[in-house]
Amino acid sequence: MSAVWAAARAAIRRRRLQTFVIALVALLCTATAVVSLALLDATSAPFDRAFEQQQGPHAVAFYDPAKVTPEQLAGARNGVAAGAGPFGQTVAETRAAGPVGSMLGPLAIVGRADPAGEVDRLDVWRGRWPAAPGEITLNAPPEDDAGFARGPMGHLSTLTVNGTTLTVVGWAYSVSHSADAWVTPEQMTAWRPSGLQMLYRFAGDVSTRDAVEERLAGVLPGGALLAAQPYQVVKEEAAETAGVYLPFLGAFGVLGLLVAVIIVGNVVSGAVVSGFRHIGVLKSLGFTPRQVVGVYLTMVIVPATAGAILGTGLGAVGAQPLLADTFRGLGYGQGTGVELRVWAAGLLGVPALVLVAALLPASRAHRLSAAEAISAGSAPRPGRALRVQRLLGGTRLPRSISLGLGLPFARPGRTALTMASLLIGVTTVTLATGLAGTLIETSRLDAAAGGDVGVRPGVAGPAGGPTTERGDREIEALLRGLPGAAKVGASAGLTVPVVGQSSPVQVNFIRGDVAAMGYQAQLLEGRWLAGPDEVVASAELINKRGLAVGDTMVLQLEGGRTTVTIVGETMQSLPGPGDGLFAAWRDLPGLDPFAFYYQVELAEGADVQAFTAAVRAADPGLTVWDNTDVTDLTIVITGISTVLALLLAAVAALGVLNTVALNVQDRRRDLGMLKSIGMTPRQVLTMLVTSMAALGVAGGLLGIPFGMAAHRLVIPLAADAAKVTLPDYVMRVWDPATLALLVVSGVLIAVLGALLPARSAARLSIARVLHNE
Amino acid sequence: MTTETVVRLDRVRKEYGETAALDGVSLTIRRGEAVAVMGPSGCGKSTLLNMIAGLDRPTSGEVTVHGERLDAMNETRLALFRRHHLGMIFQFFNLLDDLSALDNVALAAQLTGSSAATARRRALELFDELGITDRRDVYPAALSGGERQRVAVARALMNRPALLLADEPTGALDSRAGEQVMDLLIDLNQIGQTLLIVTHDARLAHRCASRLVELADGRIAAESALDRV
Ligand SMILES: Nc1ncnc2c1ncn2[C@@H]1O[C@H](COP(=O)(O)OP(=O)(O)O)[C@@H](O)[C@H]1O
Ligand SMILES: [Mg+2]
């Protein structure tokens, strides 16, 4: 093998440029692939690990105490491998001192004596488990101290449930989310539980929701089962954030791998074509056909492996912030590393792909007859190229340009591959442009909807902070009066029971400029509310409850029933507990002062910090916060897709550079001849750049539709994963100017790629060409 | 001088499309001979040499070199045969541009399984014999034509070939460098190296060869013994 290695090393040295191109392409593709795989892996692996650690229940079941006794439940073990319960459970309105409590909403509370057990072994990560009535432990994912202090739960020391004030004694974490909080069984008995909780691990198949439900139905036949949560529900929630990244990382990943295959194929076939003489020499020395192929494969596998090693490292580092973002607050803390199998896939996958891509052109070297190789040299076939050249020669274009336009026809195969890499470059740039457009539009909508500043009465604090003296209307007037305020919206949030539905809805009674602050603009369907019996629902609520625009709901309000019609669907609801309805303002006497919420949109150029400071100064009894932050997701996705698009465009340019370098190499003699008859260096440059710019235009025109199609495919997939519905207009990001710029991007990629080798060809000394031929 | 046969061609025909580059050539070369093949351009000299080197296969006829039937061998066996038993030099040298002179020569021995160090040692020996030791680390582009051809000869001799094939070895050289290469070939033949030289240079043929084969239109037109001048 040492002879093959010696020859391959020489070939690598001769083709520094191509070697560099291959290494870079392999690096980029590996990095993208590793990030995608790490995320893919992350959508299940850390959850699975935590779930196993806690011996999470396959189903959390909730039985009707009127139909089954605790003894019957404890005795029913059909198909159950391990179980815990029955535990008394209730869903209760909770309230804490200060405004935070009013945001907690109803909590599912379970009476449980012991955090350990056969299943759902809870991690009590701060404080302790309730030991006596009057104590409560909350469910929250473990966080570092800084994160903990920042979260809303960090302030809680007492909690009022069903009129009883409980002391918060600790925090525990249940991966399976079997409850929001736990108390002692005695405390639960005192409240008279509304259901009995059973936690089951089953012996049989639990791979799907249906399978779990089937197992569960077998445990205790009869109608006592009220509700159940298969573990897949929690698992899918855990995968949500990762699921948003996957579609577009996948799209870029596929484009990257395609470009890798094309460029490697082009580099190797170029090396084989321009290396005919080289192959002939190797064969005349006694290299076997297989060894010759070995030389050419070694030539690409060395840089590809080097690129893959660097790319794997880069991908692993690059995946960290995404993984951390994915797991923030999910409580799988330790699980944010990149798994070994992902490393292995990165290290082996791309070099293997490169090898396969190289195999086909390298096998030409295998078949090439030595005699032919040694005598033939590497002159491209004339025929068609000559005909095109003759046609172009008849036009009135400057000769250097018409010669350049004819060049791509001399080697149709190479031209096709170059065009394909340009096409992918433009596709990528188009996709990234579309993604950025959609995301910016979406986040603008988001930001507008949230307002710039949010305000609530009261200030959070361990002992209940200062409260405002002002009433609802006075607060609104205060906010409107402060310098910088452009729009002020007020709302009162109320949890309202719905006739015929098991859980209540959050209704936001709105006043002022709420509609004008983005919510009306982001209507997905229908129209904005126009009267007291009309409501607008968030997409989340509509999806969760199987509603539709046009449906009516009967709300139990102020002791009576109010029928409302859903006239519109919005992307999102007001900040606060999610699935809300917008309803027209009505004065609700006796409303909790903490239920009021105000959002302010500032005038163009007004300073958010100054405004929040002004509000605090005007009334220390108000909680004020900055609501402007664009979501991390938008920044991350726009950032990554821009970087990936630039990188892939650079790779496409490298593909062009490789092609021009090969063309120049093939045509050294022609170039020497053209110069000897008086072609200036500038004309040589023009000729070579023209040849690629023409391909750039064609690649641009063809790549744009592909990019637009990819955008159409990726955005809905990502939105789906994020469980949001996007209004159609955020998809309409294309206008003639953008499209024209995208065509220009194709030309730019081509020209930038061609410039370097064209310049060195322009400087090529005739004497040297003639000396070496 | 023994009479062991190194090359035997039996009615070898080679067609390229319609035309026959070789048309029924039979030829025997014995060990220690120096045979020159001459003829006008396009008469089939290179084709004949390619047949003997196993670089190409005949359309019909038999090619036996060093006791082996090349026309029946597959590509891989031909390659193995070449690396052990043949050395070739060309008009345009065909050195690998990115290996130093020494590494170009060493490569031939590495192919037969020698370590890089052993290969270099043997290459240095040859450099010494050919008087180009001081050029060993120079790359081909910086060598003169004559030096390139001597490096090519060294490479061809690396594995002590049974037959040294030369296709127009002086065709690209000025007369002084041409003379040096001729002297080298004569010296080699005198120590027993079997030679086949393709040329259209009568001086080269008459100085180096013991026998002359004249080709015309793919056939042997004449054969004659030469008294070397
Ligand atoms: N690979 C090839 N394909 C087609 N024709 C060839 C090929 N090689 C040689 N020929 C033709 O065969 C004839 C003999 O060529 P060659 O042996 O190279 O002649 P020369 O005596 O000049 O070395 C010529 O007519 C040449 O055109
Ligand atoms: Mg010839």
Task: Give the pLDDT of residue A773.
Answer: 45
Which are the contacts of B67, defined by CB distance < 8 A and separation ≥ 6? none
Of the ligands numbered here, which is closest to the C-alpha atom of B17? 1
Task: Give the pLDDT of residue B59.
Answer: 93
Task: Give the pLDDT of residue A376.
Answer: 46
Yes or no, beta carbons of A286 and B80 under 8 Å apart: yes
Cα-only R_g, chain B: 17
Of the listed ranges A454-458, A494-498, A717-721, A745-749, the one predicted with least confidence: A717-721
Task: Give the pLDDT of residue A104.
Answer: 57
CB B50 near ligand 1, within 6 Å: no
| Whether residue A767 has pLDDT greater than 60 | no
| pTM attached to this predicted model | 0.64
Q: Write the DSSP string, A95-115.
A: E-SSHHHHHH-EEEEEE-S-S
Containing B149, the helix (H) or strand (E) segment is helix B145-157
Cα B131 to averaged position of ligand 2 atoms, centre (Å): 29
Question: What CATH number was assigned to the domain covering residues B5-225?
Answer: 3.40.50.300
| Whether residue A144 has pLDDT greater than 60 | no
Q: What are phi and psi of A58, to 5 degrees?
A: -70, -30
**Between A638 and A7, whose confidence is greater?**
A7
**Buried b / exposed e along A678-700 (16+ C-beta atoms within 10 A):** ebeeebbbbbbbbbbbbbbebbb
Determine the Cα–Cα distance for residues A457 and A465; give it in Å rounded to an integer. 11
Containing A87, the helix (H) or strand (E) segment is strand A80-95
What is the residue-averaged pLDDT of chain A?
76
Q: What is the mean pLDDT of residues A697-717?
A: 87
Percent of chain A past pLDDT 90, that is, above it, reads 1
Sort residue A396 into left (φ over 0), alpha (ψ -120 to 50) or beta: alpha
Of the ligands numbered here, which is closest to the C-alpha atom of B44? 1
Chain B residues in contact with A370 (beta carbon < 8 A): 50, 55-56
Determine the Cα–Cα distance for residues A654 and B122; give it in Å rounded to an integer. 42
pLDDT by residue for chain B (229 residues), tens only, comes to 456 899 999 999 999 888 899 999 999 999 999 999 999 988 999 899 989 988 888 999 999 999 999 998 887 788 888 888 999 888 888 887 778 899 889 888 888 888 888 889 999 999 998 889 999 999 888 888 889 999 999 999 998 899 999 988 888 888 888 888 888 899 999 999 999 999 988 888 998 899 999 999 999 999 998 876 5
CB B41 near ligand 1, within 6 Å: yes
Task: Give the pLDDT of residue A449.
Answer: 66
The ipTM of this complex is 0.74
Yes or no, beta carbons of A289 and B75 under 8 Å apart: yes
Yes or no, beta carbons of B98 and A284 under 8 Å apart: no
| Whether residue A20 has pLDDT greater than 70 | yes
Q: How far is A19 from chain B (nearest CA, A)?
A: 15
A234-276 residue pLDDT tens: 777 666 666 666 677 777 777 777 877 787 777 777 777 766 7
Yes or no, beta carbons of B80 and A288 under 8 Å apart: yes
Q: What is the mean pLDDT of residues A6-21?
A: 80
Task: Give the pLDDT of residue B58.
Answer: 92
> Residue ranges of the domains in chain A?
1-55+232-378, 59-205, 380-447+631-773, 452-627
Yes or no, beta carbons of A374 and B76 under 8 Å apart: no
**Between A594 and A428, whose confidence is greater?**
A428
- CA-nearest residue for atom 14, ligand 1, is B44
Cα B12 to averaged position of ligand 1 atoms, centre (Å): 15
Beta bridge partners of A62: A197, A227
For chain B, the residue count is 229
Considering only alpha carbons, which residue of chain A is nearest residue B47?
A371
Percent of chain A past pLDDT 70, that is, above it, reads 78
| Whether residue A323 has pLDDT greater than 70 | no
Query: Which of A13, A287, A369 is opposite residue B111, by nearest beta carbon?
Result: A287
Provide the pLDDT confidence category of residue A379 given band limits of 50, 70 and 90: very low
- CA-nearest residue for atom 24, ligand 1, is B42
Q: How far is A1 from chain B (nearest CA, A)?
A: 8
Containing A81, the helix (H) or strand (E) segment is strand A80-95
Chain A residues whose C-beta is within 8 A of a chain B C-beta are: 2-3, 6-7, 10-11, 13-14, 277-278, 280-281, 283-291, 369-372, 374-375, 772
Q: What is the mean pLDDT of residues A280-297?
A: 85
Task: Give the pLDDT of residue B163.
Answer: 94
Cα B217 to averaged position of ligand 1 atoms, centre (Å): 11
- CA-nearest residue for atom 12, ligand 1, is B21
Containing A641, the helix (H) or strand (E) segment is helix A632-666
Tokens 């010494």 correspond to: B128
**Between A756 and A724, whose confidence is greater?**
A756
**Between B51 and A79, whose confidence is greater?**
B51
Task: Give the pLDDT of residue B26.
Answer: 95
Q: What is the pairing mode between strands B195-198 and B163-167?
A: parallel
Provide the pLDDT confidence category of residue A189 given band limits of 50, 70 and 90: confident
Q: In whole angstroms, how far apart are CA A603 and each of A477, A479, A480, A482, A773?
A: 17, 13, 11, 11, 73
Chain B residues in contact with A372 (beta carbon < 8 A): 56
Cα A430 to averaged position of ligand 1 atoms, centre (Å): 52
Considering only alpha carbons, which residue of chain B is nearest residue A374?
B94
Cα A173 to averaged position of ligand 1 atoms, centre (Å): 84
A417-469 residue pLDDT tens: 888 888 888 888 888 888 888 877 777 666 666 677 888 777 654 445 567 77
CB B37 near ligand 1, within 6 Å: no
CB B44 near ligand 1, within 6 Å: yes
Choose from A53-62, A119-128, A357-366, B2-11 the range with maximum mean pLDDT.
B2-11
Determine the Cα–Cα distance for residues A523 and A572; give it in Å rounded to an integer. 9
- CA-nearest residue for atom 7, ligand 1, is B16
A728 CA to centre of own chain: 20
Structural tokens at position A445? 């909508």
Query: Which of B56, B90, B96 is opposite residue A369, by nearest beta carbon?
Result: B56
Give the 3-state secondary structure of A242-278.
HHHHHHHHHHHHHHHHHHHHHHHHHHHHHHHHHCHHH
Candidates B13, B14, B15, B16: which one to mutate for ligand 1, based on the most atoms within 8 Å of Cβ? B16
Hey, is A170 helix, strand or coil? strand
> Residue ranges of the domains in chain B?
5-225
Best of B22, B52, B55 to substitute, by most chain A Cβ atoms within 10 angstroms, is B55
A623-653 residue pLDDT tens: 777 776 555 566 666 777 777 778 778 878 8
Yes or no, beta carbons of A6 and B116 under 8 Å apart: yes
Q: What is the pairing mode between strands A580-584 and A505-512?
A: parallel
Provide the pLDDT confidence category of residue A378 given band limits of 50, 70 and 90: very low
- CA-nearest residue for atom 8, ligand 1, is B47
Of A312, A35, A417, nearest to A425 (Cα)? A417
